[in-house]
Chains A and B, each alone.
Chain A
Amino acid sequence: MVNYIIFILVVAGVYALLAQSLTLSWGLAGLVNLGLVGFFAIGAYASAMTTKWGGWPIPLGLLAATVLGLFTGFIVTISTLRLRDDYLAIVTLGFAEVVRLVASNEIWLTGGTDGIAGVPSIVPRAWGQGYHVTMLAIVSVLAIATCALVRHLAASPWGRALRAVREDQVVAAVAGKPVIRLKAQAFSIAAAIAALAGAIYGHYTSYVAPEIYQPLITIYVFLAVTAGGVGRPAGAFLGAYLLIGFLELTRFMAEIVPGVSPVQAAATREILVGLALILLLRLKPNGIMPERNQKAPPSTA
């Protein structure tokens, strides 16, 4: 049971990282990135391939994943500059599917649908429970540090300009803000964070394969950010833990609620998640922690 809880907390930490990524690209810059899981996959593959087949040390593999995420994010931004809202959403969704299909079919490069098994672990697996506890510490620290970084960025003049781009990019441009540069920076950093999360998750579970990187992951992260607070890094962080906690709790529903068979419980899981989200947004339309506005200093005159 302890190992199970530790495992869930590691997964929640990975989701918290993804939620920070989405807070930057969607929450602050307003770029609807339905391709989040694509960057997650790219990071996982980059680190798994370089460390398992290339023999690179793991820190270098993580770095390679982050840099490749940054680079791919930049390419996706400049190739979608004219797109906004639902158009961008469709293209980024397609991007993630392309990543998954390429990973499935380019067997010489990625190992195809068999995936890459035995991805090296960050700390020795032989430590048993110590392994999981150490990984929990690493992931949690990383998630907290990323959240602090995104908070710092969101509260800066850079974050303010980015929010203006989200609200109305014509006004942002007239205000003298370089809209394209701001979008490219936000989206690329967001992609790098997602890629790093993917790399860590790959090393933790030791297995990277196309079927892991389903669009449902992206949707879950959107749920977490929406519930926690769009444009509020701490809210997204909290939302990720709440979402994973809730998802896991619903597994035990068959035991808790009388008269529900395990099959029925499994079938109602997603319904419950949806219901919880609707209820939450009915009661707290801006999420648990709404976006923060910069307060004016007390007037001196």
Chain B
Amino acid sequence: MMDGSAPVLVVDNLQLAFGGLRALDGASLSIPTGGVTALIGPNGAGKTTLFNVISGLLKPNAGTVILAGQDGHGRDLTMLPPDQISRLGLVRTFQIARGLPKMTVFEHLMLYGPDQPGERLWMVMTSPSAVRRREDELSEKALAVARRMRLDHLIDNPVTALSGGQKKLLEIGRALMAEPRLILFDEPAAGVNPTLAETIGDQLRAIAAEGRTVLLIEHDMALVGRVADHVIVMALGRKLAEGSFDAVCDNAEVQRAYLGVRAELAA
């Protein structure tokens, strides 16, 4: 996976302060193309804030986020609204599964389908056949994704009828519908039972095996150790260390960031 090719995403010196709190304080990191990169770090390290900036939900005070284009040219995402970033092939999921209460599993999947001309009013009125054709393609794909996420028996259920674990799976499935090159997963296994966490880990590997790049925030270290090719550690709004899972675990600085420092050592 880590073949030394150009990174898919380069974050350079991101700064973002919420009042006096510097959530991102010069964060710089690059995500290799392909494979699974895990972003770990103690609570409050700025991981989710970083995701929010990359996906366009928050604008940074300074710094750039360059997404490598398919044509080789990079684009700075910090200037773009979130919907455009998603259409460039970078899709994120949410830590707490954000379902749309009055919509079904099928509708969630269809919603994330890209390039539907039927989302333009003009096309709805003038080209029903083109809209229909794309809708058929997307619904076939939605059914396949639903099977893959083991949600096919719930396809017409409202999302409110799903269990917590199923909501997490739908969160992954709908991101897949967008055919992204890079997917940002924000704690995809938080709050699920160990068996499902393992299933989710397998799904992440399978997604990477399809040639998509996976960037993952996760606190479940067993999962990170199992799926990550590369690990980046964040603390206090910037990168602390990176490397293989084992190398990062042995890093004294990382241990200190996670476990704290004993008073006599700090003195």
Residues in A lying within 8 Å of B, measured CB to CB: 152-153, 156-158, 160-161, 163-164, 167-168, 170-179, 185, 231, 291, 293-297, 299-301
Q: How far is the CB of B158 from chain A (nearest CB, A)?
A: 7
Chain B CB within 10 Å — which of A158, A164, A185 has the most?
Answer: A158
- The reply to whether B86 and A161 form a contact with Cβ atoms under 8 Å apart is no
Q: How far is the CA of A168 from the CA of B104 in the complex (A)?
A: 14
- The reply to whether B86 and A176 form a contact with Cβ atoms under 8 Å apart is yes
Residues of B within 8 A of A301 (CB): 143-144, 147
Chain A CB within 10 Å — which of B83, B107, B139 has the most?
Answer: B83
CB pairs A–B below 8 angstroms (24 shown):
A157-B124, A157-B134, A158-B124, A160-B111, A163-B100, A163-B102, A163-B107, A167-B100, A168-B98, A170-B98, A171-B98, A172-B111, A174-B57, A176-B86, A176-B87, A176-B114, A176-B178, A178-B83, A293-B106, A293-B156, A294-B107, A294-B110, A297-B139, A299-B143
How does the 8 Å CB contact mask read for B131-143 relative to A, with 1 for contact and 0 for none?
A: 1001110011011
- The reply to whether B82 and A296 form a contact with Cβ atoms under 8 Å apart is no
Residues of A within 8 A of B140 (CB): 300
Q: How far is the CB of B126 from chain A (nearest CB, A)?
A: 12
A295 and B106 in contact (CB under 8 A), knowing A176-B112, A178-B83?
yes
A296 and B100 in contact (CB under 8 A), knowing A160-B110, A161-B111?
no
For the complex, is B74 an interface residue (Cβ under 8 Å from A)?
no
For the complex, is B232 an interface residue (Cβ under 8 Å from A)?
no
Q: How many residues of B contact A (CB 8 A)?
A: 46
Q: Which among B86, B104, B124, B146 is the interface contact of A173 at CB below 8 angstroms?
A: B86
- The reply to whether A167 and B139 form a contact with Cβ atoms under 8 Å apart is no
- The reply to whether A157 and B143 form a contact with Cβ atoms under 8 Å apart is no
- The reply to whether B83 and A179 form a contact with Cβ atoms under 8 Å apart is yes
A168 and B143 in contact (CB under 8 A), knowing A175-B86, A176-B178?
no
For the complex, is B241 an interface residue (Cβ under 8 Å from A)?
no
Which of the 9-residue segments B14-22, B115-123, B251-259 touches chain A?
Answer: B115-123
Q: How far is the CA of A124 from the CA of B114 in the complex (A)?
A: 53
- The reply to whether A167 and B118 form a contact with Cβ atoms under 8 Å apart is no
For the complex, is B92 an interface residue (Cβ under 8 Å from A)?
yes
For the complex, is B243 an interface residue (Cβ under 8 Å from A)?
no
Residues of B within 8 A of A158 (CB): 118-121, 124
Q: How far is the CA of A200 from the CA of B65 in the complex (A)?
A: 54
Residues of B within 8 A of A172 (CB): 83, 111
Residues of A within 8 A of B144 (CB): 301
Q: How far is the CA of A168 from the CA of B103 in the complex (A)?
A: 11
Residues of A within 8 A of B139 (CB): 296-297
Q: How far is the CB of A130 from chain B (nearest CB, A)?
A: 35
- The reply to whether A174 and B82 form a contact with Cβ atoms under 8 Å apart is yes
Q: How far is the CA of A301 from the CA of B155 in the complex (A)?
A: 14
- The reply to whether A175 and B111 form a contact with Cβ atoms under 8 Å apart is yes
Residues of B within 8 A of A164 (CB): 100, 103, 111
Q: How far is the CB of A107 from chain B (nearest CB, A)?
A: 39
Q: How far is the CA of A152 from the CA of B124 in the complex (A)?
A: 8
Q: How far is the CB of B16 from chain A (nearest CB, A)?
A: 17
- The reply to whether B143 and A163 form a contact with Cβ atoms under 8 Å apart is no
Q: How far is the CB of A85 from chain B (nearest CB, A)?
A: 15
Residues of B within 8 A of A176 (CB): 83, 86-87, 91, 112, 114, 178
Q: Which among B55, B101, B110, B134 is the interface contact of A167 at CB below 8 angstroms?
A: B101
For the complex, is B181 an interface residue (Cβ under 8 Å from A)?
no
Residues of A within 8 A of B86 (CB): 173-176
Chain B CB within 10 Å — which of A163, A176, A178 has the most?
Answer: A176
The 7 closest A-B pairs by CB, nearest first: A157-B118, A167-B100, A176-B86, A296-B106, A173-B82, A156-B124, A296-B155
- The reply to whether A177 and B124 form a contact with Cβ atoms under 8 Å apart is no
